[in-house]
Amino acid sequence: MRFSIAQLVACTILLVVSEATQAAPPERPAVRIVLKHGREGWIADYKFRKSAPVWFFQRSKDSIDKTQWRLASFKVATPGVALARLGNFDALYRSDGRPLRHIRIRITPFSRPLRSDYAPALTFSDGGLAFYTHHFVVSPLTSIAAAKTLPVSPDWDGIEDAPATITVRDKGHRLLVRGRVFKDAATIPLSGPDTYVYVGSGPLVATDHFAEIIDPGLPVWLRGELDAFVPCLMAYYTERLGVPSGSKPTALIAWEGSERPGLSIGGSVMDRLVVMALSGQKMLEAEPKTLATLRAFFGHETSHFWIGQTLQYSKPEEGWITEGSADVLGIRATQHLVRGYDAHPKLQQEVDDCLKLNG
């Protein structure tokens, strides 16, 4: 079954809520962050209720090209406050040792991939953006010396708790957060699961159980295929496996242009969210192998929305239980949805891999 965008939008009921009616954040968060867009670009205002001379960013991985991305993306506008890499982590501090109270940071969105972490931002060809929430999370420390001695993997139980919220504001634009649509602003408690917050006016495809933003700059053939496949995939999983608990499953698919040769498919999956960045000259023309790769990615990754609620394993080496299940679900779903798809080679490969890994 295939649906056009118009048909999907026509049958969609979008949940639009105001900032005041969102899921309740902490009553008095230790840190309030407001990320807003205006004539000067993107600005993040941090307000601290807890007294500390140093606040370090919990996630400080460099980009894959070894750039200290936050130092390139964040420019502190508050006099007397510095942002620097102290040991293994980026940190905000005052040189005079006084507690931080209010800090303003000008932000140039950074969308290049990081090493073993999520990209700080996802950029869309029409100017839309998606920010990764937990790159804004900070924790207090007593001194610069304490920051410099933090190990790469600290004992987080020993780090002082500082509940925080982030409010993203862009007047006149739509925000998409965990499958819910907001107007002008949305507030997210940072103590919950990490996610991306989409801000923009890109076309939204949504059903009762799924929401999707696909970059309007995506090659026409590819956009048409994804518009036809992904909503039907989610409807099929819901029909066979039931409605997943929690927030509505969501996909964000960005187009990064065709300047580079070949093709690039970068994807990440987190709680109820799939994000993907596509680019490359080979994406411009219809290519069965490219389409098969994308279908396999979505079939596998979105099945985790259901598998994660029903299957668990006790040791890392047992990860094949969920990964193998996701492969099989994706193959069977594609077999059901795509006319002429031959599932047997992929299923045989799954059996062969299972025997090879587990005897």
Q: Which domains does the chain have, with CATH numbers?
A: 26-190 (2.60.40), 205-358 (1.10.390.10)
Give the pLDDT of residue 11.
Answer: 34
Q: What percent of the chain has pLDDT over 70?
A: 91
Is the pLDDT confidence value at 227 over 80? yes
- State the average pLDDT over residues 238-259: 89
Would you place residue 203 in the very low, low, confident or very high pLDDT band (cuts 50, 70, 90)?
confident
Q: Specify the residue for token string 């709680």.
A: 271
Position 151 confidence tier, pLDDT thresholds 50, 70, 90 = very high
**Residue 292, SS3?**
helix
Give tens-digit pLDDT for 288-329.
888 998 899 999 989 988 887 676 777 776 777 788 889 999
The pLDDT confidence band at residue 359, using thresholds 50, 70 and 90, is low
pLDDT at 1 over 70: no
User: What is the largest distance, in Å, between two alpha-carbon atoms of the chain?
Assistant: 69
**86-100 mean pLDDT:** 95
Tell me how far CA of residue 80 lies from CA of 25, 72, 137, 238, in angstroms. Answer: 30, 19, 21, 54
pLDDT mean across residues, the chain = 88
Using a CB cutoff of 8 Å and minimum separation of 24, what contacts does 2-10 make?
A: 2/228, 2/232, 3/227, 3/228, 3/231, 3/232, 4/227, 5/203, 5/205, 5/227, 8/205, 8/206, 8/207, 8/227, 8/231, 9/204, 9/205, 9/206
pLDDT band at 353 (very low <50, low <70, confident <90, very high): confident
3, pLDDT greater than 60: no
**pLDDT of amino acid 120:** 96
Mean pLDDT of 253-265: 90
| Paired tokens of 354 | 């299972």
Backbone angles phi, psi at 304, to 5 degrees: -65, -20
Q: Residues with Cβ < 8 Å from 339, sequence gap 6 or more?
A: none
Residue 242 scores a pLDDT above 60: yes
Q: How many CA within 13 A on the CB side of residue 280?
A: 14
Given a cut of 80, whether residue 19 has pLDDT beyond it is no
Q: What's the rounded Cα separation, in Å, for the pair 317 and 313?
A: 9
> Please, are residues 270 and 193 in contact by the beta-carbon 8 Å criterion?
yes
pLDDT at 34 over 90: yes
Task: Check whether 26 has a pLDDT greater than 60.
Answer: no
How many residues does the structure list for the chain? Answer: 359
Given a cut of 50, whether residue 13 has pLDDT beyond it is: no
Tell me how far apart the alpha carbons of residues 321 and 114 are, in angstroms, rounded to a whole number. Answer: 28
| Strand positions, DSSP E, the chain | 16-17, 31-38, 41-48, 54-57, 74-76, 81-86, 89-94, 102-107, 121-123, 129-132, 138-141, 164-177, 180-189, 196-200, 204-207, 210-214, 250-255, 264-270, 273-279
* Tokens matching residue 345: 């080679």
Banded model confidence at residue 23, pLDDT cuts 50, 70, 90: very low
pTM assigned to the model: 0.85
Q: What residue type is 290 in one-letter code?
A: T
β partners of residue 176: 181, 198
Task: State yes or no: pLDDT of 114 exceeds 60.
Answer: yes
Beta bridge partners, 91, equal: 56, 84
Nearest Cα neighbor of 175 from 213, 137, 207 is 213
3-state secondary structure of 124: coil
**Which of residues 47 and 97 earns the better pLDDT score?**
47
Interval 116-146: pLDDT, tens: 899 999 999 999 999 999 999 999 999 999 9
* Nearest residue to 276 (alpha-carbon basis) of 288, 259, 263, 260: 263
Position 167 pLDDT exceeds 60: yes
